[in-house]
Structure 1
Amino acid sequence: MEKRLTLAQAVAAAGVFSTVSFWYGFMFGRESARKDLEELIVDLRRKKIEPDSSTPSSNSFEDLT
């Protein structure tokens, strides 16, 4: 005897699969975004603590005139 899924069972299985896939995708995206933002925050804090060496100081402008 051959087992067959009814239409309702197929739709329910697809719904469960879709829900689980969405949940894992959402959690993965959230974790990825958290890591990216954490790196950005660390970089911004470093720049705030350590002045950028590429910006000229006030003395260098006096030397040019």
Structure 2
Amino acid sequence: MPAAKKITLLQTVAFAGVFSAVSCWYGFMFGRESARRELGGIIEDLRSGGGSGCSTNSAASPDSDAHSKP
């Protein structure tokens, strides 16, 4: 019977580092794409005259009630 292959601590740490780097990269790319889409929508609203004079920060957060305050 062949002996079981052992994984060293160095291999475990190296694997965890690579996994972390790939995970961070994908998170960065998806976040960037999401932000690009959101900003694209805000820019299109402003170009079409849909802006009501409010700052873009209030348009970026639809849950805020900044528009309802006098």
The aligned length equals 49
- Structure 2, gaps ≥5 residues long: 53-70
Superposition deviation, residue 30 in structure 1: 0.2
- Structure 1, gaps ≥5 residues long: 53-65
Superposition deviation, residue 24 in structure 1: 0.5
Higher relative contact order (CA 8 A, sep 6+): 2
TM-score of the aligned structures, taking structure 2 as reference length? 0.66
Which of 1 and 2 has greater Rg? 1
TM-score of the aligned structures, taking structure 1 as reference length? 0.71
Q: Which runs of 4+ in 1 moved over 3 A?
A: none
Identity of aligned residues (%): 61
* Structure in which a larger fraction of residues adopt helix: 1
RMSD between aligned residues: 1.4
